[in-house]
Amino acid sequence: MAKSVVQEFSKGLWAEVAPFRLVLGLCPVLAVTKTLENGVGMGLATTFVLVGSNILVSMLRNIIPSKVRIACFIVIIATFVTVVELLMQAFTYPLFLKLGIFIPLIVVNCLVLGRAEAYASKNGVVKSLADGLGMGLGFTLSLGLLGAVREVIGTGTLSLPFLYNIPVMGDGYRPFAFMVEAPGAFIALGLMLCLMNLVPKKG
């Protein structure tokens, strides 16, 4: 039991890391990763929703009638998204403004609904929690990584989450501004996917 919980947790970090392996939930991945801080903030918000909805769906899985399950899942997810939206508005207001409409859009992130449908509705509470946490942290790491790459190339500095900006490239560096614009997001993610494919999959 203990071992399998660890497995459920760790698969989200590498073997099935959501944006790269499953290609799910791409919109926030592309849109908010202009900086490391935005990426990590978005990732943590999604993790919160993912863990909360996985736990609740798993607890209610024997009560929800299978015909209306998708609608029930969406209501559960939307509830947690509203919670996280209000929490961020209260405690991390600048980040809330930067992420904008992408916070309410966590509702339609197919990753969250996908985990509820494919995993939490079939497994127990503890395993679902581990799955949600693993998937969420994998998502956070991917967003952070993409954000860091784009920020360093695009602006020459790196914003540590909730701290300050550190210059990485030095004064002589001329920022490659296209990386923080829309096309840079697509191309950076495409090339990172290519690098991921070069490394063989492991458990």
Residues of the shown chain interacting with other proteins in the complex, contacts defined by CB under 8 A:
23-27, 30-31, 70-71, 74-75, 78-79, 81-82, 85-86, 100-101, 104-105, 107-110, 113, 178, 181-187, 189-191, 193-195, 197-198
Least separation in angstroms between residue 5's CB and other proteins is 29
Least separation in angstroms between residue 88's CB and other proteins is 13
For other proteins, which is the closer residue by CB, 51 or 116?
Answer: 116
For other proteins, which is the closer residue by CB, 57 or 185?
Answer: 185
Least separation in angstroms between residue 104's CB and other proteins is 4
For other proteins, which is the closer residue by CB, 160 or 177?
Answer: 177
Least separation in angstroms between residue 43's CB and other proteins is 16
- Say whether 192 sits in a helix, a strand or coil: helix
For other proteins, which is the closer residue by CB, 162 or 178?
Answer: 178
Residues whose CB falls within 8 Å of the CB of residue 117, separated by 6 or more in sequence, listed in order: 69, 70, 73
For other proteins, which is the closer residue by CB, 59 or 187?
Answer: 187
Least separation in angstroms between residue 79's CB and other proteins is 7
Residues whose CB falls within 8 Å of the CB of residue 99, separated by 6 or more in sequence, listed in order: 32, 38, 41, 42, 45, 88
